[in-house]
Amino acid sequence: MPMATRETGLAMLAEFVPRMGRRYANGRNFDHGPGRHDAVSRLSPYIRRRLVTEAELVSAAIAAHGPEEAEKFVEEVLWRGYFKGWLERRPSIWSAYVTGLEADLAVLDADRRLRRRVSEAEEGRTGLACFDAWAQELTETGYLHNHARMWFASIWIFTLGLPWRLGADFFYRHLLDGDPASNTLGWRWVAGLHTRGKPYPAQAWNIAKFTGQRFTPRDSDLAEVTQGLEAQEPDGLPPAQAARSVRAPEPGLPTALLITEEDCRLEDFNLAGLDIRACATLSASHLRSPLPVSDAVAAFEARALDDAAARVGLAVDSLQADAPDNLVTWAARSGARQIATPYVTQGPLHDFLAQAQPLLAARSIALCEFRREWDGLIWPHASAGFFKVKQQIPQILGRLRCQ
């Protein structure tokens, strides 16, 4: 497992810069297997926690290769922002995932045959060599190549006939870069629920080609995918709404700073005018699932939070997102009138903070957030497909001075 520090992330970024142009565009779809993912950056666990920011990646790519040569890399970086914005503007999709997963887990608990089939899939014992290898790579390394994630999800849903939310939960419990938006919407995209009626089929020729013949499944090994799961959501997608408004921290007010894995670069924000009374890290990886979350995920989060705390240069407490009362007690004990933290997008940590908000309000403590310009420029365009964001890339990069 790589070190979850900004220093390590920046070193990996510097090492990958020469490959952000044509080499990335030509090689990014090839899954060469564990230890051989050299055509992609492998920076996603750092980007997910903003130990390295999206703007830093895009600026480095364009500076080294120019906007045309770096176009594909830049687009892939913006997909993460698109998914985050899309889910922010349709929060009911996350709520439906949470309640649907609870229902799926209840069925799993009652259905012995389904439990056996899910266990075989998660442990890599299905007999389908490519799928089993990816399951083992995920649990052993906390990583899967993006193309393998799509193949895996398609086989899980259409060939094995397993509930898609159980597969998404399996990923979320083990991926070091696990992100509620990218993970949930990626699985929905494969299932034909995100882009309605367009599921992603895992095809034998495609797997053979883009694994360099490491795996050569037969057509008969894989389901023929003719339709997705859109019948499970007959009402279609909810309409996009405006992203929720942000209450910015108020200068001069007694403040408790909160560091979470949503953004481990608190020093990027203007803290100068705040009357800081306390600072804490908040561990929340265990909230990813009702089932046990990988020790590697928790360890990566813990190291990232420690690294973020060290860069803030303050005495830092350690909190865990268990009972919201504990967060309230910590803030009240410091005399804070506001908690200031980088923006928390839809997901389990947002749900936890939503439970804490009325308790904080009862103690006259406001929950305030910093929101990055990167998000503010992308999210207004994340109302439908990615094409709307893609059209805005020159304007977005121009505003960020990345061109």
User: Token pair 């705040």 is at which residue?
Assistant: 274
- Secondary structure (DSSP) of 53-86: -HHHHHHHHHHHHHHHHTHHHHHHHHHHHHHHHH
CA distance 40 to 21: 11
Q: Are 385 and 195 in contact (CB under 8 A)?
A: yes
Q: What is the pLDDT of residues 41-69, one digit of tens each?
A: 999 999 999 999 999 999 999 999 999 99
* Nearby residues of 106 by Cβ (< 8 Å), 6 or more positions away: none
Q: For residue 101, how many other CB atoms are within 10 A of its CB?
A: 21
pLDDT given for residue 260 in this prediction:
98
Q: At what angle do helices 71-88 and 180-191 cross, to 10 degrees?
A: 100
| Region class of 228: left (phi > 0), else alpha (psi between -120 and 50), else beta | beta
Q: What is the pLDDT of residues 149-208, one digit of tens each?
A: 999 999 999 999 999 999 999 999 999 999 999 999 999 999 999 999 899 999 999 999
Q: What is the pLDDT of residues 75-125, one digit of tens each?
A: 999 999 999 999 999 999 999 999 999 999 999 999 999 999 999 999 999
Give the residue from 64, 44, 39, 63 showing the smallest Cα distance to 54: 44
CA distance 20 to 41: 8
CA distance 394 to 219: 42
pLDDT given for residue 403 in this prediction:
55
What CA–CA distances, in Å, run from 190 to 33, 69, 194? Answer: 22, 28, 8
Query: Does the model's pTM come out above 0.85?
Result: yes
Q: At what angle do helices 146-154 and 164-174 cross, to 10 degrees?
A: 150
Domains of the chain, CATH where assigned? 6-87+377-399 (1.25.40), 94-232 (1.10.579.10), 254-370 (3.40.50.620)
Give the residue from 322, 396, 325, 321 showing the smallest Cα distance to 360: 325
Q: For residue 315, how many other CB atoms are within 10 A of its CB?
A: 9
pLDDT given for residue 197 in this prediction:
87
CA distance 158 to 126: 14
Q: Check pLDDT > 90 for residue 22.
A: yes
Instruction: Determine which helix (DSSP H) or strand (DSSP E) holds 275, and give its type and residue range.
Output: strand 275-283
The pLDDT > 90 percentage for the chain reads: 97
Give the residue from 151, 149, 169 showing the smallest Cα distance to 159: 151
